Structure 1
């Protein structure tokens, strides 16, 4: 494992507790602990989706830190991939959360476009990493 992969993996490890806190909040909300929030069913679904996407994309980012070491890319491309994978996790969850914010919201606002940005970013990173791994086998 390269020192760059270790650094990014350590940073990702510090991100996991924020996801855990979000899960704790959602669980407590579903148990009726935050009745004063009065989230709409749409907002509840968006917040659950934001939380689950953050968790999955963060795990993908962690795994890809190791794979990037074996892709044979120059340092600049490796850093683009390292940062791109974790940035996509942050951006997609932000799109779900900010896209549903506002009292009584029943559909998305302009912030939901961040979801598309994150999908484009993670897809670019996945395809690039796959090409690098195939070319360097």
Structure 2
């Protein structure tokens, strides 16, 4: 595994405690009946989606790093694939969480577009990696 892939994997592993903290926060909102979570279905749904996406996408990105160096891609393209795939587990959850940061928010704000940016990056990065592996 190249040093670039190892560094990217290191950054991804550093995000795992943030995912765990998010899970603990959600649990605290549930068990302590904190206003603005259980009584706000929009916020509850988006925060749950943010936490789920964070966990799954960190795992996906870590696995993808194992394949980047094996792909028939230029060095610049490998760097781009690493960045796009590693950005998804950061951008998508941020979009879910920050789009309803206010406890009384009933509609996502403009930061929901971070989820779109993360998803687009993930799609382009995964497609490029897949083509490079074929």
* TM-score of the superposed pair, with normalisation by structure 2: 0.91
Map 1:27-46 onto structure 2 (within 5 A): 27-32=27-32, 35=34, 37-39=35-37, 40-46=40-46
Q: d(CA) in 1 for partners of 2:112 and 2:6? A: 32
Q: d(CA) in 2 for partners of 1:103 and 1:11? A: 30
Q: d(CA) in 2 for partners of 1:27 and 1:68? A: 36
CA contact (8 A) 2:43 2:103 kept: no
Partner of 2:16: 16
Where structure 2 has 5 or more consecutive residues not aligned to the other structure, the ranges are none
Q: List 4+ stretches of structure 1 deviating above 6 A.
A: none
CA shift at 1:38, angstroms? Answer: 2.4
CA shift at 1:110, angstroms? Answer: 1.2
CA contact (8 A) 2:98 2:111 kept: yes
Map 1:65-84 onto structure 2 (within 5 A): 65-84=65-84
* TM-score of the superposed pair, with normalisation by structure 1: 0.90
Q: d(CA) in 1 for partners of 2:24 and 2:101? A: 19
Partner of 2:128: 128
Structure 2 residue 115 is matched with structure 1 residue 115: yes
Deviations 1:4-25 (A, max 9, x none): 2211111211111110111111
CA shift at 1:103, angstroms? Answer: 3.5
How many corresponding residue pairs?
A: 132
Q: d(CA) in 2 for partners of 1:47 and 1:28? A: 13
